[in-house]
Amino acid sequence: MTGDQLKALRERRGLTQTQMAAFVNELTGRKYDKQRLSKWETGKEALPRDLLGRLLLLDLERPESPLPRRGTTVAVGLQKGGTAKTATSINLAFILARAGNRVLLVDADPQGNATIHVGVPQTDIVALTEAGKVLYHALMGKTTLDEVIRPTSVEGLDVVPSSIALASADTELPGNLTNAQTALAEILDGVKARYDVIVIDCAPNLGAVTINALTAADYVLVPCQAEPHAILGVSAFLDTVAKIQRRLNPRLEVLGILPTMVNPRQTQDRSSLDDIQRLWGNDRRVFPPVPRATIYAQAAGANVITLDADIGAPGVESYAAIASALLTATGRLQETVDAA
């Protein structure tokens, strides 16, 4: 958040600098004054990171609205592993929920990492699988999605848990001639009215479940590690997205490309960022890169959402930018529905 953006946020709330300083102190428990706020707005001092995260959330807050929830769906995907798809999915879902949206996180990866990171213990995943209450069972018509959805400790965020059982769906779904590619879209249709946004964490492949996710989605977000092999994977993935658009889901749009695990001090990372901009910057939105930071590995090791552990973690600006783009796109979708 720049100084100009901070000033714009203050003015939208109708606050003087003194009043904004008092408001910031309520948020943080600190004792900032008007002079410090002025230095932030003029860019003479950088915002403290914990305050930055809180203000970005504030800027995303969902106003009370009579409009119905529409379950705008974004798939987070790339067929290459290790590009921070799960970290992107859970942090995006978290920041959207903290901003006042009702969010459903769908773990469409048999590894089940997103499920674990939003607070479902491994022992519960085993029990849910044995009880027939994970995504695999809803996808294959063995139970309803309502029976599978679980709340999380984050207010406004629910999860559809996954487990290794989902790996079987990639071979079983193609044998279902009636809804082999639309099964996920069909079960999500029954719950969309309860959510503002649905985030699907895809597996690192282009199997039947991932095709289902792209068929169910309004948008696709592509996390791309700043290294050559991941960049090659983006080209192949975007080709697949184009085929899905032509054959199965004409409403699907690319929300953007998110460079991840970027170390700006590394020559290779800077070169890869230049390549991403050169290849797609003119035609696609390229979001601010998420820097490589130890807190992501620490959060993964502790099975928690990074931004829940530290709202000012490096990369919060990137997730806020994605959330803002997604909510803006949702507004355009609503306008299209209203005009129809």
Q: Going residue by residue through the chain, which has 340 residues, state the pLDDT in tens, using 9 for 90 and above.
A: 788 888 988 888 888 999 999 988 988 888 999 999 899 989 999 888 888 888 888 788 766 555 567 899 999 999 988 899 999 999 999 999 999 999 999 999 999 999 999 999 999 999 999 999 999 999 999 999 999 999 999 999 999 999 999 999 999 998 775 678 999 999 999 999 999 999 999 999 999 999 999 999 999 999 999 888 888 889 999 999 999 999 999 999 999 999 999 998 899 899 999 999 999 999 999 999 999 999 998 998 888 999 999 999 999 999 999 999 999 887 655 554 444 4
On whether the CB atoms of residues 69 and 101 are closer than 8 A, the answer is no
On whether the CB atoms of residues 212 and 119 are closer than 8 A, the answer is no
b or e along 252-283 (b: 16 or more beta carbons within 10 Å of the residue's beta carbon)? bbbbbbbbbbbeeeeeebeebbebbeebbeee
Identify the pLDDT of residue 178. Answer: 67
Identify the pLDDT of residue 226. Answer: 86
Note if the pTM is more than 0.85: yes
Distance, in Å, from the CA atom of 213 to the CA atom of 85, rounded to the nearest integer, reads: 14
Is residue 172 exposed (0-12), middle (13-18) or buried (19+ Cβ within 10 Å)?
A: middle
Per-residue CA distances from 263 to 227, 267, 291, 314, 315 (Å):
11, 9, 6, 12, 12
Supply the mean pLDDT for the chain: 90
Q: Count, in order, helices (H) and strands (E) of the chain.
A: 17, 7
Listed in sequence order, the residues at least 6 apart from 27 whose beta carbon sits closer than 8 Å to its beta carbon are: 51, 54, 55, 58
Q: Cβ atoms within 10 A of the Cβ of 25, count?
A: 13
Q: Helices 34-42 and 17-28 meet at what angle, rounded to 10? A: 100
Strand partners, 150: 159
Chain centroid offset of residue 155 CA: 16
Q: What is the DSSP letter of 218?
A: S
Q: What is the DSSP letter of 217?
A: -
On whether the CB atoms of residues 132 and 143 are closer than 8 A, the answer is yes
Identify the pLDDT of residue 215. Answer: 97
- Please give the order of strands across the beta sheet that includes 197-202: 150-151, 157-160, 103-108, 197-202, 72-76, 219-225, 253-260
Distance, in Å, from the CA atom of 80 to the CA atom of 205, rounded to the nearest integer, reads: 7
Identify the pLDDT of residue 340. Answer: 42
Distance, in Å, from the CA atom of 12 to the CA atom of 307, rounded to the nearest integer, reads: 25
Comparing CA positions, the residue from 105, 252, 255 lying closest to residue 181 is 252
Distance, in Å, from the CA atom of 184 to the CA atom of 176, rounded to the nearest integer, reads: 13
Cα first-last separation, the chain: 37
E strands, the chain, where? 72-76, 103-108, 150-151, 157-160, 197-202, 219-225, 253-260
Phi, psi of 21 (to 5 degrees): -60, -40
